[in-house]
């Protein structure tokens, strides 16, 4: 995982971190690899690969197949991934790398899940049997490297990918548990809601069901077609600066994306796979970006300044709306453009000391405006949809990121680790979550301390025992902004507890809440100094102010104060075993910071949870040519299922996590 100022080599989303997926080159000698895995809930996985080097040519073909019935009803998945790589040493100073890949997926992914009642009753239930996600992706990478001099290299990368998906999802409704059978009918109830038979229900017990109209369930499709292509040139050079060794690096990238976003509705049957188009949006983006970076080494001190530049030119077209205009003059009409430039500086300092180094970095990161908020207008901090004649001008979300710490080893390498303080101060924050938007752009601070350790507790006669730990303590605070939660009084089904909690929040800081009600005569601003349950029933909209004159102690969603993993690993000859305890603290799921849970599970704090994983591996040889490993892994062996998220809030409810799964398998190399 890349963090710190060097993230500016990557972009345009480089505010928090980047995962470096390392693609291995073909093995030096011809090798056949076969890995077979099986486990609970019909988990099946197979990997086949063959590759090697022959003279100046290396090649590798790989195929991975996975199938799994899922942890809940109607949540199976099937994936096939294929790729091939060729590496050619063209000459002593030139090489060529080529990779082509394809992935195909068919699963029953759902965006709707549990209410508090169904989670507590049976969290494996999922009645939405017609949800289906299908996708395919093709990708190609061509990399040419040229070393005209031992201190100079040029790397050219050409890349392209083509992604297409269909995500058919049943239209849902939230129904009182006591009324489910009457709502869906006897046949559907017996087929998918039989677990409710004979149970008693309270007034706040709800179930997410497939919406029924005219005796039929319906479905919708989110269809994406996403294509990416580009070329990137990188130069690296070693030189001397101020009589000290130095390494220069620069890169230029030309990048293009197109995205077609189509939404279909089908009310004939939940199994329909075609329907009426209700949304047809077309997006196009091209960008020119690059960075300049130099490492200066002055003895034990290193300084690495880096500068990144982004030029983005994108537009959106509402093709469905344009199709209603008989006076269209060209295919370019109706384009909503957004063009912007962004300059991002950064600096890393490090000082080697004994068997470690002290380091620190500061850089400005960004999150590029996406289809969600990339085509809006901002005036004096207030964000609106563009009116006629207005130019789209929304800026990227930006942040100043700082870190300072130490990493290295102690006690003759018996202890290795790092300790880091980090601080992220973001601004221009708009999209807080699903239907949570800042009408006046927000500022959010996140800071904390991260520690990692690998301690050798015992090493004698081939027996080794290691302690592994990773702990993050984090605090977040919403500093500024005005936010409207568009779901809170339109789709969320409140419990008595969330209603009372909201009333208490408002009355404790009335100036922070701008509340609108409708008592039958249209929406009006409520000016009462306090509110009560009678007012709550008529609220249509609530806008929160953060910072001066508003809420000053609000945390950002999904930022638990503590995230910790502790484990022991034991190794002896070919045997390796261990266990890991992972703990995540409680966390809010929206900007109101509700502690209590709504009746539909859309809002409320996620409790802390702790899981335990364990593994055993054994390496051995079969004859003189086969290296083999057998393994058993147990995930969440205590089977403590927890509330993992409220991913799409009002439309999804609670997503469960932490299901126990034991898998086993064998890995062969020939």
**Local confidence band at 3 (pLDDT 50, 70, 90 cut-offs):** confident
- Bond from prior residue into 12 cis (ω within 30 degrees of 0): yes
The yes-or-no verdict on residue 373 having pLDDT over 80 is no
The whole-angstrom distance between residue 607's C-alpha and the CA centroid of its chain comes to 21
CB neighbours of residue 640 within 10 Å? 14
CA angle 318, 321, 323 (to 5 degrees): 105
**Local confidence band at 389 (pLDDT 50, 70, 90 cut-offs):** low
- Dump pLDDT digits (tens) for 480-522: 999 998 899 999 999 999 999 999 999 999 999 999 999 888 9
Backbone dihedral angles phi then psi of residue 539, each to the nearest 5 degrees: -70, 130
By residue count, the chain amounts to 670
Of the listed ranges 19-28, 371-380, 535-544, 564-573, the least confidently predicted one is 371-380
Q: Which two tokens stand for residue 43?
A: 């988990």
Give the span between the Cα atoms of 177 and 182, in whole angstroms: 10
Predicted local distance difference test score (pLDDT) of residue 243: 85
**Local confidence band at 76 (pLDDT 50, 70, 90 cut-offs):** very high
- Dump pLDDT digits (tens) for 600-612: 999 999 999 999 9
- Cα distances from 392 to residues 98, 160, 224, 380, 580, in angstroms, run 40, 29, 24, 14, 50
Nearest to 110 by CA among 168, 43, 173: 168
Q: Which two tokens stand for residue 668?
A: 């062969």
Bridge partners (DSSP) of residue 403 are 361, 422
**Local confidence band at 573 (pLDDT 50, 70, 90 cut-offs):** very high
- Dump pLDDT digits (tens) for 88-104: 999 999 999 999 999 99
- Dump pLDDT digits (tens) for 29-41: 999 999 999 999 9
Contact status, residue 424 vs residue 460, Cβ threshold 8 Å: no
CB neighbours of residue 200 within 10 Å? 7
Predicted local distance difference test score (pLDDT) of residue 483: 93
pTM of full prediction above 0.95: no
HSE-CB of 404 using CA atoms within 13 angstroms: 0
Predicted local distance difference test score (pLDDT) of residue 651: 84
**Local confidence band at 381 (pLDDT 50, 70, 90 cut-offs):** low
- Dump pLDDT digits (tens) for 299-336: 999 999 999 999 999 999 999 999 999 999 999 999 99
Whole-number percent of the chain with pLDDT over 90: 85
Give the span between the Cα atoms of 231 and 669, in whole angstroms: 36
The yes-or-no verdict on residue 467 having pLDDT over 90 is yes
Q: 670: exposed, middle or buried (C-beta count within 10 Å: 0-12, 13-18, 19+)?
A: middle
Give the span between the Cα atoms of 471 and 17, in whole angstroms: 17
The yes-or-no verdict on residue 385 having pLDDT over 80 is no
Q: Helix or strand or coil: residue 186?
A: helix
Nearest to 361 by CA among 305, 319, 310, 410: 305
- Dump pLDDT digits (tens) for 140-177: 999 999 999 999 999 999 999 999 999 999 999 999 99
- Cα distances from 269 to residues 112, 198, 234, 520, in angstroms, run 18, 29, 53, 37
HSE-CB of 75 using CA atoms within 13 angstroms: 17
CB neighbours of residue 376 within 10 Å? 19
The yes-or-no verdict on residue 293 having pLDDT over 80 is yes
**Local confidence band at 230 (pLDDT 50, 70, 90 cut-offs):** very high
**Local confidence band at 453 (pLDDT 50, 70, 90 cut-offs):** very high
Is the alpha carbon torsion for 534, 654, 203, 490 positive or negative? positive
Contact status, residue 239 vs residue 151, Cβ threshold 8 Å: yes
The yes-or-no verdict on residue 391 having pLDDT over 80 is no
**Local confidence band at 375 (pLDDT 50, 70, 90 cut-offs):** confident
Predicted local distance difference test score (pLDDT) of residue 380: 67
Predicted local distance difference test score (pLDDT) of residue 430: 87
Predicted local distance difference test score (pLDDT) of residue 377: 77
Of the listed ranges 235-249, 322-336, 365-379, 599-613, the least confidently predicted one is 365-379
Contact status, residue 348 vs residue 294, Cβ threshold 8 Å: no
Tokens 């229900």 label which residue? 201
- Dump pLDDT digits (tens) for 50-74: 999 998 899 999 999 999 999 999 9
The yes-or-no verdict on residue 434 having pLDDT over 80 is no
Give the span between the Cα atoms of 96 and 89, in whole angstroms: 7
Give the span between the Cα atoms of 391 and 337, in whole angstroms: 8
The yes-or-no verdict on residue 388 having pLDDT over 70 is no
**Local confidence band at 387 (pLDDT 50, 70, 90 cut-offs):** low
Whole-number percent of the chain with pLDDT over 70: 99
Q: What is the mean pLDDT of residues 352-378?
A: 88
- Dump pLDDT digits (tens) for 109-135: 998 889 999 999 999 999 999 999 999
H or E, element range at 32? strand 31-39
Contact status, residue 102 vs residue 122, Cβ threshold 8 Å: no
CA angle 248, 12, 164 (to 5 degrees): 125
Give the span between the Cα atoms of 268 and 570, in whole angstroms: 59
Mean confidence (pLDDT) of the chain: 94
Predicted local distance difference test score (pLDDT) of residue 647: 85
Tokens 């394809």 label which residue? 102
């Amino acid at each position: 995982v890349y963090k710190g100022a060097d993230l500016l080599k990557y972009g345009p989303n480089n505010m928090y971190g980047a995962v470096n997926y390392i693609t291995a080159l073909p093995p030096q000698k011809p090798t056949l690899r076969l890995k077979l895995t099986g486990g609970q809930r019909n988990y099946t996985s197979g990997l086949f690969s063959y590759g090697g080097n022959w003279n100046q040519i290396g090649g590798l073909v790989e195929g991975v197949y996975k199938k799994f019935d899922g942890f809940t009803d109607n949540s199976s998945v099937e994936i096939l991934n294929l790729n091939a790589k060729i590496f050619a040493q063209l000459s002593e100073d030139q090489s060529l790398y080529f990779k082509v890949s394809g992935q195909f997926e068919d699963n029953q992914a759902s965006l709707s899940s549990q209410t508090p009642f169904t989670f507590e009753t049976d969290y494996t239930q999922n009645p939405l049997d017609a949800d289906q996600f299908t996708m395919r992706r093709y990708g190609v990478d061509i990399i040419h490297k040229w070393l005209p001099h031992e201190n100079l290299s040029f790397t050219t990368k050409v890349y392209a990918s083509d992604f297409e998906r269909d995500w058919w999802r049943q239209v849902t409704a939230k129904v009182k548990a006591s009324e489910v059978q009457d709502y869906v009918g006897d046949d559907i109830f017996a087929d998918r809601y039989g677990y409710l038979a004979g149970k008693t229900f309270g007034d706040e017990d709800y179930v997410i069901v497939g919406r029924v109209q005219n005796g039929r369930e319906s479905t919708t499709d989110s269809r994406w077609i996403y294509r990416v292509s580009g070329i990137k040139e990188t130069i690296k050079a070693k030189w001397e600066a101020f009589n000290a060794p130095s390494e220069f690096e620069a890169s230029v990238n030309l990048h293009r994306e197109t995205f077609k976003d189509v939404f279909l509705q089908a009310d004939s049957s939940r199994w329909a796979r075609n329907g009426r188009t209700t949304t047809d949006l077309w997006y196009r983006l091209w960008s020119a970006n690059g960075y300049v970076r130099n490492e200066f080494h002055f003895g034990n001190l290193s300084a690495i300044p880096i500068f990144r530049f982004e030029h983005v030119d994108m537009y959106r077209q509402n093709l469905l709306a344009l199709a209603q205009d008989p006076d269209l003059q060209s295919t370019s009409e109706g384009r909503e453009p957004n063009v912007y430039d962004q300059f991002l500086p950064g600096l890393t300092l490090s000082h080697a000391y004994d068997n470690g180094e002290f380091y620190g970095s500061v850089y400005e990161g960004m999150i590029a405006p996406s289809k969600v908020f990339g085509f809006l207008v901002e005036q004096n901090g207030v964000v609106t949809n563009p009116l006629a004649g207005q130019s789209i001008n929304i800026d990227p979300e930006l942040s100043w990121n700082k870190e300072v710490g130490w990493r290295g080893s102690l006690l003759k390498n018996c202890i290795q680790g790092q300790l880091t303080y980090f601080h992220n101060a973001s601004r221009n924050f708009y999209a807080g979550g699903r239907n949570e938007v800042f009408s006046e752009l927000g500022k959010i601070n996140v800071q904390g301390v991260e520690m990692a350790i690998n301690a050798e507790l015992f090493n004698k006669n081939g027996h080794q025992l290691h302690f592994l730990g990773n702990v993050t303590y984090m605090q977040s605070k919403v500093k500024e902004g005005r936010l409207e939660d568009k779901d809170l009084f339109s789709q969320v089904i409140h419990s008595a507890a969330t209603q009372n909690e909201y009333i208490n929040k408002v009355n404790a800081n009335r100036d922070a809440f701008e509340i609108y009600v409708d008592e039958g005569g249209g929406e009006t601003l409520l000016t009462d100094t306090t509110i009560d349950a009678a007012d709550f029933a008529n609220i249509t909209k609530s806008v929160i102010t953060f910072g001066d004159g508003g809420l000053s102690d609000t945390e950002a969603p999904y930022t638990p104060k503590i995230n910790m993993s502790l484990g022991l690993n034991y190794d002896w000859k070919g045997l390796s075993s261990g266990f890991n305890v992972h703990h995540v603290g409680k966390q809010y799921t929206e900007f109101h910071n509700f502690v209590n849970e709504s009746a539909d599970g859309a809002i409320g704090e996620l409790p802390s949870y702790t899981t335990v994983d364990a593994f055993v591996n054994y390496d051995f040889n079969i004859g003189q040519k086969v290296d083999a490993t057998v393994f058993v892994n147990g995930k969440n062996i205590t089977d403590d299922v927890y509330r993992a998220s409220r991913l799409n809030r009002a439309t999804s409810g609670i997503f469960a996590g932490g299901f126990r799964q034991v898998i086993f398998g064998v890995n062969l190399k020939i």
